[in-house]
Amino acid sequence: MRIEDFNGLPADDAAALVRACADIDAWVDAIIARRPYADVDALVLTAEQLSERWTDADVDQALSHHPRIGERATGAGASASAREQAGVDPADAVLADELRAGNTAYEEKFGRIYLVRAKGRSGPELLSLLQERLTHDPATEYGVMVGELREIAVLRVKELFG
């Protein structure tokens, strides 16, 4: 897609594209409201800056649509999530069991799903990161998790044009 095409889309169509990057109403609405963008870099910069304003409720909204690592998504970001988790071999039963156990431990400790930028990372690497993050205190982990969510959102925005 070209930035001119994005700028010219009906608001609902453009919003659907952005929502697949991060399902956060206020973020999507603000990105759409700032059209037209001079170029992709301006859009990406706006997406990054607006992500710095995410509230706890925004983060919760986005997480409610993310699959667990090792699981397949449905909904707006499903195809992006499947591509990003390509490094997790669904035939590796041992890894699947370890990820499932790690996801459960994470959710019990932090009260939300384990979110990590999976793109370009292998299943074992994602498991290792999960195990490392289980050692964090809640405040540290929240900061790491939100950083990962921002990274995912911005990468997906870039991929709309790549």
| Alpha-carbon gap, residue 48 to 143, rounded angstroms | 16
Of the two residues 119 and 14, the one the predictor is more confident about is 14
Q: How many domains does the chain have?
A: 1
Judged against a pLDDT cut of 90, whether residue 17 lies above it is answered with: yes
Q: What is the largest CA-CA distance in the chain?
A: 48
**What mean pLDDT comes out for the span 46-61?**
96
My answer on whether omega of the bond before 36 falls inside 30° of 0, hence cis, is yes
- In sequence order, what are the residues at sequence separation of 6 or more whose Cβ sits closer than 8 angstroms to the Cβ of residue 51? 22, 27, 149, 150, 153, 154
Separation between Cα atoms, residue 73 and residue 5, nearest integer Å: 27
At 130-156, the pLDDT tens digits run 999 999 999 999 999 999 999 999 999
**With bands split at pLDDT 50, 70 and 90, how would you rate the model's confidence at 87?**
low
Q: What is the CATH number of the domain that holds 131?
A: 1.10.3330.10
Instruction: Answer yes or no: is pLDDT of 105 > 70.
Output: yes
- Structural domain that includes position 116: 3-159
Whether the pTM exceeds 0.75: the reply is: yes
Residue 75 has pLDDT above 60, yes or no: no
